[in-house]
Chains A and B, each alone.
Chain A
Amino acid sequence: MAFLNTVLLWGSALASIPVIIHLIRKNRVKEMEWAAMDFLFDVVEEQKKRFQMEDILLLLLRTLLILFLVLAMARPVLSSAGFGFGKRDTLIAMDDTFSMATRSGSKTRFDHAVDVASGVVARIPGSSGGALVLQRSNAEKVIGTLSADHSLLGEAVRSLSVSDYDGDPAAGLKACLDIIEKEKTPGAVVYLISDFQESEWKEPSADVQEVLKKLREKTDVIFVNVGDSEESNISVVELQPLQAAVRVGEPIWFSVKIRNNGKEDTTDVPVYFEINGAVREALSVSIPAGQTTSTVFRADVESAGFHKATVRIGIDNNEKDNFAFTQFEAFEQLKVLVLQNFIPETIEEKRAVFVDFALNPYPGASQAENALYKFTWNSIQSMSVDDLDEYAFIILDDVRALTTVESKFLEDYVASGGGVMVNMGPTIDAENYNRIFYKDGKGLFAWPLLDTAVESLEEGKYLNYEVNNPNHEIWSFTGGKEVNLGMRLKKCFGFVSQTSDRALSLMKLRSEGDDRSFMAAFTYGRGRVFVNGTSSGLEWNNLALLPTFLPFYRKVSNWLMNEKYGQKKYEVGQSYTQEVSEEKSRTQFEMMAPSGSMQTIEATISGDRHFLNVESLKESGVYKLREEGKSNSRLISVNVDSTESQVTSMANDDLKTIYEPLGVKVTDKQGAATMTSSAAASEISTLLLILAILCWLGENFLSLMISRRGQNG
């Protein structure tokens, strides 16, 4: 038998108190002369044995009362091998999110968690089952059925390592609830071993409360907090190329954001920028507490194809978020097709020349030698379906009207992953656009276009507008929250917003009683459509003259090309899907994880389309997807969720304040040993408490008897 609160065993010395009191009282005797001694002698003679018995019994009851109480508080535990009773199935929900990699001293939080979990496994009563769940956003049932093979469970615990996943308080608990409901095991106990980050646990969501309530109806839930007081952690929040594509030999800029998640300022944090594993640039940054700093790295590559960019910072308390990855594709040149009502001859007739200059900021724009984007001007009538796939994206600039065939060409192009930018203008036939592009929501436009353009009628007055969805990646160059382009809008076509899952308003008119978008983003098949209801020229607005014009159109072009050129950003835990053509659907693809492990992927069919599916990208880093028999790989960069980088753990008292009212027991890693065998311990403690109560009742009864005997009559 072991004791969970061994310190309290010192309290067993208290059991001597009744004996001491007895001895003290025995020596504290009053003396008095007495005349009627014969009666006392008679009484003593008659009841001597009875008094002795009562004295011994009282002393015994009082001593046992204290002893039982102390033992109950010390919480004795029968070892699992020792006795058959105390059967209690145990579920361990182990937090393996990357915040658990935070190091304090020689051990990480996860090391402590493994110790605690191993202790729990070691104390599972003999015939009881055990299960193991990973507590994270993509909760995983490592051992999803209750297994009586404790050595297997222990081995599974010891083989765990910190993942790159972020946390989700409800996910692991739901997985435990699934097991409990499936196994229908009564009186089980769930141990959730985590660092209980403030960012996730301080305010339990309704979901968490609901799951906890259901769990508590069926089991005991114990939170074991392996968190520590470590709060400092610097993380790379973002690494992204500022261009969608890169020309070989031409510079490319990368935006990097680094956050100080701690509560103290930090200085001289070394930051290294690498292309394909080679350091290209290094610098030091200082970041105030709780702030994010941004910096830009410049690089170029010498060959076409996919390249990997990495940013890493110096070692800190948590190394998991010290990296960020992205991939980009380098080209000799990307082609952009601009379609107008006619083939422009002069630069004045080239309406999209501002976009050309925005993407190719060189003299001569796309005509320059180092221009990445090669702009080709053509008339809508000359558009041919055969050559559309060679264009990175297509611009329709003030095209008055399209035929059904022309629109079909564009639809096929977009559906297969292409991007179309539609700039409105003075010649637009709205009725034709609705018929050709809207098609009751089935065309490239998810929303119908207003029949006529909206115009500011007063001289010197402009239309009021505001930015919608400021967190959309097109607005990322602005920093998000409040976007002010400083544009003066005179006239525009607008959409009537409708409910649609493939439409998003980017700018809307803010006139009285009206809520109309004049800039919208639509998805269609695998491709994207961007519609600018006002002109790309200077007739209806002054956007082309503003400094924001350049980053704005770069972002738009990035967004249009994302699908096609694979710059989609992934986070750990997300699934990966890629549509492949029918002839490639029979080909095997190999995916190599950042850790080097290989996975073979075969296409799956959904409807008449073929997809490569990876259910979950489990590691941060750059995956390589290679077609069987090919030497070049497609790169897929996967980053950790930066919210998990807030490693500050909740104090145990705070955790108790919040979760004990929800019926959860809370302990720390030291107390975990105390709680671990509370299954058997609680039963023995209860038994001891009952015995203590019986002793107390017996003592009271005996005292009452003696007292009543002392009363008159």
Chain B
Amino acid sequence: MKKLAKYLHPGIISRVGAFVINPKGLAEGNIAGAHKSPFHGFSVEFAGHREYIPGDDTKHIDWNVYYKRDKYFIKQYEAETNLVTQIFLDASESMRFKSGDQSKLDFASYLAVSLTYLVTNARDSMGMGIFNDKIVEYLPPSNSLQTVYKMSKVLEEMTPVKKTEMGNSLMDFAQRIGRRQIVIVISDCLLRPSELHDGLSRLRYDHHEIVLFHVMDPQEIDFDLEGTIRFQGMEGAGEVKLDARRVRKAYMKKFEEHRHKILDVCEKNNTEYVPANTGKSVSELLMGYLSSRLTHINR
């Protein structure tokens, strides 16, 4: 039987399906919804008055105030809107790397589709941008459950190629989406930290809430290899032959330094950093992340 959505795994959904992703701040949605909007609108809950300026709809003038103050005042209400979440997924060639059964891209795909399910299940919208050296695919936000299947389909057909150019791609992505959304970046972050910084700064400028899932293969972390190996670089990085055992410690140090730099960039840009080890299950990662997020918001 053909699966409707490869990356929508029942095991994951059954464990994290009850969670809801709420924004930590205000959200600017495109329709009325369950989330607080930064805008004062004309909805249900009264928020206050402001002076009438030409162009305002006259039907919102509070005539009682006019009688008392002899000035036109407009009645304002707390606006409520829906949550728009965007996934920005790295599909560069390095995401093809795998030491176990699943590549980093597979892991990222499971993660993205599962998050999409959670969001759309709460009647919020989820959009997705896939990039390598540029944005190669963009799915506009939708609160339809069809989005889940559509997204899975896109990811299934995605072939990871080319280098990671996250800076430019994020600039481009920021222009395509609105403001005050949740932007979930899923990448192996094999790029210059400054490039990541540029991209995240741009997103931060638009008051997005940013979450970075740093996808790492366990072999990339532990470098648990033996013997002389000719490493052929992905993304056209050339090749190098060396005794894996001898460089392990130095490599791990380098890798850890890089991770700390990524973490620094995230901290500077108010970005939530979530390490994602592909050696562990997606459900475990999501359970941990969503639980901590819930705790953080309620506090």
Chain A residues within CB distance 8 Å of chain B: 25-26, 28-44, 46-47, 51, 54, 706-707, 709-713
Q: Name the one of B227, B230, B248 contacting A709, with C-beta atoms under 8 angstroms.
A: B248
Instruction: Give min CB distance, A627 to chain B, whole Å.
Output: 99
Q: With A and B bound together, what is the CA distance between A597 and B52 in angstroms?
A: 159
Q: Which residues of chain A come closer than 8 Å to B237, judged between CB atoms?
A: 37-38, 41
Residue from A28, A38, A43, A713 whose CB has the most chain B CB atoms within 10 Å: A43
**B248 to A31, Cβ gap below 8 A?**
no
Assess the A47–B250 pair: CB atoms within 8 A.
yes
User: What is the CA–CA distance of A42 and B238 in the complex, to the nearest angstrom?
Assistant: 13
Q: How far is the CA of A42 from the CA of B237 in the complex (A)?
A: 12
B280 within 8 A of partner (CB): no
B102 within 8 A of A: no
A711 cross-chain contacts in B, Cβ below 8 A: 248-249
* Chain B nearest Cβ from A92, distance in angstroms: 58
Enumerate chain A residues within 8 angstroms of B247, measured Cβ to Cβ: 40, 43-44, 47, 710
User: B249 and A710: CB pair below 8 A?
Assistant: yes
Q: Does B249 lie within 8 Å of A709, measured CB to CB?
A: yes
Mind listing 24 A-B residue pairs with CB under 8 Å? A29-B230, A30-B229, A31-B232, A32-B229, A32-B230, A32-B231, A33-B232, A35-B93, A35-B95, A35-B97, A36-B94, A36-B220, A37-B233, A40-B242, A43-B242, A43-B250, A43-B251, A44-B240, A44-B247, A47-B247, A706-B245, A709-B246, A709-B250, A710-B249
Which 7 A-B residue pairings sit nearest by Cβ, starting from the closest? A37-B233, A710-B245, A35-B94, A39-B254, A37-B237, A35-B97, A34-B231
Is B217 on the interface with A (CB-CB < 8 A)?
yes
Whether B228 and A29, one on each chain, are in contact in the complex, defined by CB atoms closer than 8 angstroms, is yes
Q: Are A710's CB and B248's CB within 8 A?
A: yes
Find the residue from B97, B241, B250, B252 having the highest chain A CB count within 10 A.
B250
Q: Measured between C-beta atoms, what is the minimum distance from B243 to chain A in Å?
A: 8
How far apart are B215's CB and chain A's nearest CB, in angstroms? Answer: 10
Most buried by A among B190, B220, B234, B247: B247
CB–CB A30/B230 < 8 A: yes
Do B249 and A35 touch (CB < 8 A)? no
Interchain nearest-CB distance for B174 vs A (Å): 26
Closest to B244 in A: A710
CB neighbours (8 Å) of A39 from chain B are 251, 254-255, 258
- Contact partner, A37, options B217, B227, B240, Cβ 8 Å: B240
Assess whether A37 is in contact with B250, with CB atoms less than 8 Å apart. no
Given A35-B220, A37-B233, A710-B249, 17 additional A-B pairs, CB 8 A: A29-B228, A30-B227, A31-B232, A34-B97, A34-B232, A35-B188, A35-B217, A39-B258, A40-B240, A41-B237, A41-B240, A43-B242, A44-B242, A54-B246, A709-B248, A712-B248, A712-B249
Size category of the B interface is 35 or more
B156 on interface, CB distance cutoff 8 Å: no
Residues of B at the A interface (CB closer than 8 Å) are 93-97, 104, 188, 190, 217, 220, 222, 227-235, 237-238, 240-252, 254-255, 258
Min CB gap A711→B, angstroms: 7
Of the listed residues A29, A36, A38, A44, the one surrounded by the most CB atoms of chain B closer than 10 A to its CB is: A36
Q: Closest residue of chain B to A54, judged by CB?
A: B246
Complex: chain A residue closest to B94, CB-CB: A35
Task: List residues of chain B with CB within 8 A of the CB of A41.
Answer: 237-238, 240
Residues of A near B234 (CB, < 8 A) are 33-35, 37
Q: Which residues of B contact A51 (CB under 8 A)?
A: 242-243, 246
Chain A positions within 8 Å of B245 at CB level = 706-707, 710
Contact in complex: A26, B228 (CB < 8 Å)? yes
CB of A710 within 8 A of CB of B246, answer: yes
CA distance A31 to B242 in the complex (A): 11
Q: In the complex, what distance in Å separates the CA atom of A631 from the CA atom of B228?
A: 103
Q: Which residues of B contact A36 (CB under 8 A)?
A: 94, 190, 220, 255
> How many A-B pairs fall under 8 Å by CB?
102
Q: State A415–B166 Cα separation when bound (angstroms).
A: 134
Give the complex CA separation of A710 and B247 in angstroms: 6
Which chain B residues border A29 with CB–CB below 8 Å?
A: 228-230, 241
- Min C-beta distance of A604 to chain B, whole Å: 90
Q: Which residues of A contact B229 (CB under 8 A)?
A: 29-32
A366 to B250, CA, bound (A): 122
Query: Which residues of A sit under 8 angstroms from B188, Cβ to Cβ?
Result: 35
Partner of A34, one of B95, B233, B250, B252: B233
Query: In the complex, A37→B228 CA distance in Å?
Result: 16
Q: Contact between A46 and B230 (Cβ–Cβ < 8 Å)? A: no
Scoring B227, B238, B241, B246 by chain A CB atoms within 10 A of each residue's CB, the highest score goes to B246
Chain B, Cβ-Cβ closest to A48: B242
Contact B228 A712 (CB under 8 A): no
B190 touches A35 (CB 8 A): yes
Instruction: Tell me the bound Cα distance from A634 to B156 in angstroms.
Output: 129
Q: Decide if A37 touches B238 in the complex (CB within 8 Å).
A: yes
Complex Cα spacing A32 to B228, Å? 11
B231 touches A37 (CB 8 A): yes
When chains A and B are docked, how far (Å) is the Cα of A43 from the Cα of B249? Answer: 10
Rounded to whole angstroms, the CA-CA distance of A30 and B230 in the bound complex is 6
In the bound complex, what is the Cα–Cα distance between A713 and B95 (angstroms)?
Answer: 27
Q: How many Å lie between the Cα of A29 and that of B243 in the bound state?
A: 9
User: A54 to B245, alpha carbons, bound, how many Å?
Assistant: 14
Residue of B with least CB distance to A25 = B228
Give Cα A281 to B255, complex, Å: 111
CB-based contact A32/B232 at 8 Å = yes
Given contacts A706-B246, A712-B222, contact A38 B190 (CB under 8 A): yes
B104 — which chain A residues lie within 8 A by C-beta? 35
Chain B minimum-CB-distance residue to A36? B220
B250 touches A46 (CB 8 A): yes
Complex: A37 Cα to B97 Cα, angstroms:
12
A712 touching B240 by the CB < 8 A rule? Answer: no
In whole Å, how far is A51's beta carbon from the nearest beta carbon of chain B? Answer: 7
A40 to B96, CA, bound (A): 18
Task: List the A side residues contacting B244 at CB < 8 Å.
Answer: 710
CA distance A41 to B258 in the complex (A): 14
Chain A residue numbers with a CB within 8 Å of B96 are: 33, 35
Nearest-CB distance from B261 to chain A (Å)? 12
Distance between Cα atoms of A26 and B243 in the complex (Å): 10
Q: Which residues of B contact A35 (CB under 8 A)?
A: 93-97, 104, 188, 190, 217, 220, 233-235
Q: A28–B228 contact, CB under 8 A?
A: yes
- Minimal beta-carbon separation of B222 from chain A (angstroms): 7
B241 neighbours in A (Cβ, 8 Å): 29
Residue of A31, A38, A43 touching B230 (CB-CB under 8 A): A31
Q: Residue of A at shortest CB range from B224? A: A712
Query: Which chain A residue shows the least CB distance to B237?
Result: A37
* Neighbouring A residues of B238 by C-beta, 8 Å: 37, 41
In the bound assembly, the distance between CA atoms of A35 and B235 in angstroms comes to 8
Residues of B with C-beta under 8 A to A25: 228
Chain A residues, CB < 8 A from B220: 35-36
Closest to A707 in B: B245
